[in-house]
Structure 1
């Protein structure tokens, strides 16, 4: 019985844990931090049960030779931390929208890297549109499943209520049963793209603003300078970078310096 076969799913061997860590880092540059290890059982149990695997060891054995790319993709997607919400750190989103508008020479061009299921770029687009600011926004994530969800713009009642005021919810989303769907005019303003921040080229240079919040934290330390260098190449002089509240460029890149005009944001360093 399936119920019996799921009992061993919490007993992933050290070899399997090592294989999972190697797979995640090779595909995304991210590491499984010790405080995230508990998520492995929760994340992979549904896939193992669905495929009839008796254990996580058995599930992961199916991707070790590199032949089952589809299964490897599903495992990596399940291991990624896609925690996000609308207007997360709302004051910071509003301030960044105002700052990027101020430094742009016309229509702000913005990149949201690691956009997860789309709440951040949608929040930013709402903030800019309500200011009357036309903009070009590219949103990328390493997860194809996350990008597909973001492109669809469909969110559950729980997701829509996280950080989104009722006024904005009713203005920018339409109810469909128990879900809420972002209005087409909002979704179309954003170019959604699957992209690996570590391996792939960024959007074309000359960007006025780049959001890379709560992404560096999960990357292997030796990859962070490389990613920051990629971001620096994409940002135009005078453009602004926003990291997560617990992230910094200090000790990781000389390409950026704290902005003297806009608190909490970074600019290209004149000495970088």
Structure 2
């Protein structure tokens, strides 16, 4: 199933316009596989036919289907388990001290896919009931994919999905078996909410989050779009908050808004601005 350069460009431009993601050469191989279901639905034989359809006026619904098919929604519970251990044992401990007066913690999972990361965070809190009793925990998951967000809101997962990343004890403790699969219990879903949103849009409410997770998202952006994404993340992170990226991502050489923290390679904090000489003099004489 050949994909000529013109068809590739039409589809790549569509993905970039809708999500900011780049359909680079090393991702080109999976286009035909990702679109195979859409091909069957539309009785198409090659990507060139699909590109021609996309060029017709009024094909907004088709364009959405193409973008949804191309998005990589790979995720699972407690992905990169060591990172969650750091969150549970160090980052949340730090936030517990900083937010002791208000007893409120807000977390944003940007690019949450089908919700496993958000529910994993909710389980971390639920497994420490003594520490978090009386606290208001708000965990927001956003994703550019409407399909992914719909599943995240349902909290329902197949047998295969539920077995990826969690123990049998966690499965039985935090999920209920239903005819449709395994559904997250009310006590962890009560801490979560989901909405469709592009990371390049303005940050969602409440605007300043104590912890922001944006893992395995930025690697699909080119440097310019990545810088714009970091600006959005910086605007959404509390001054004393935390940012966690994926294992293959970094702020080094990408942005001047964040700097590495001392709790592992995946954690970052907003860079402290150095006051100018005039500002320093004003403070000293105030």
TM-score (norm 2): 0.87
Structure 1: distance between partners of 2:51 and 2:156 = 31
* 1:72 match: secondary structure: helix
* 2:35 match: secondary structure: helix
Structure 2: distance between partners of 1:118 and 1:66 = 34
Q: Structure 1 residue 12: deviation in Å?
A: 2.3
Structure 1: distance between partners of 2:119 and 2:25 = 32
Counterpart of 2:75?
Answer: 84
| 1:100 aligns to 2:92 (yes or no) | yes
Q: 1:203 aligns with which of 188, 202, 205?
A: 205
Within-5 A mapping of 1:38-187: 38-65=29-56, 67-98=58-89, 99-103=91-95, 104-105=98-99, 106-132=103-129, 133=132, 134=135, 135-177=137-179, 179-187=181-189
- CA deviation string 1:154-191 (max 9, x = no partner): 11111111111111011111112472111133223211
Structure 2: distance between partners of 1:72 and 1:162 = 31
Work out whether residues 78 and 117 of structure 2, in 8 Å CA contact, stay in contact via their aligned partners in 1: yes
Structure 2: distance between partners of 1:207 and 1:201 = 10
* 2:238 match: secondary structure: strand
Work out whether residues 203 and 235 of structure 2, in 8 Å CA contact, stay in contact via their aligned partners in 1: no
* 1:170 match: secondary structure: helix
* 1:108 match: secondary structure: strand
Counterpart of 1:263?
Answer: 264
* 1:270 match: secondary structure: coil
Work out whether residues 138 and 203 of structure 1, in 8 Å CA contact, stay in contact via their aligned partners in 2: no
- CA deviation string 1:210-240 (max 9, x = no partner): 0000011011221111111111111111100
Q: Structure 1 residue 101: deviation in Å?
A: 4.2
Unaligned runs of 5+ in 2: 275-286
Unaligned runs of 5+ in 1: 1-9
Q: Aligned pair in 2 of structure 1 residues 204, 180: CA closer, same or farther (>3 Å)?
A: same
Structure 2: distance between partners of 1:25 and 1:72 = 12
Work out whether residues 241 and 267 of structure 1, in 8 Å CA contact, stay in contact via their aligned partners in 2: yes
Structure 2: distance between partners of 1:28 and 1:147 = 15
Higher mean C-alpha displacement, 119-128 vs 11-20: 11-20
Structure 2: distance between partners of 1:165 and 1:216 = 29
Work out whether residues 21 and 220 of structure 2, in 8 Å CA contact, stay in contact via their aligned partners in 1: yes
Counterpart of 1:190?
Answer: 192
Counterpart of 1:217?
Answer: 219
Structure 2: distance between partners of 1:225 and 1:101 = 30
Q: Structure 1 residue 72: deviation in Å?
A: 0.7
Structure 2: distance between partners of 1:190 and 1:240 = 19
Q: Structure 1 residue 269: deviation in Å?
A: 0.6
* 1:174 match: secondary structure: strand
Q: Aligned pair in 2 of structure 1 residues 66, 95: CA closer, same or farther (>3 Å)?
A: farther
Q: 2:10 aligns with which of 3, 6, 19?
A: 19
Structure 2: distance between partners of 1:32 and 1:171 = 40
Higher mean C-alpha displacement, 243-252 vs 65-74: 65-74
Root-mean-square deviation over aligned CA pairs: 1.6
Counterpart of 1:5?
Answer: none
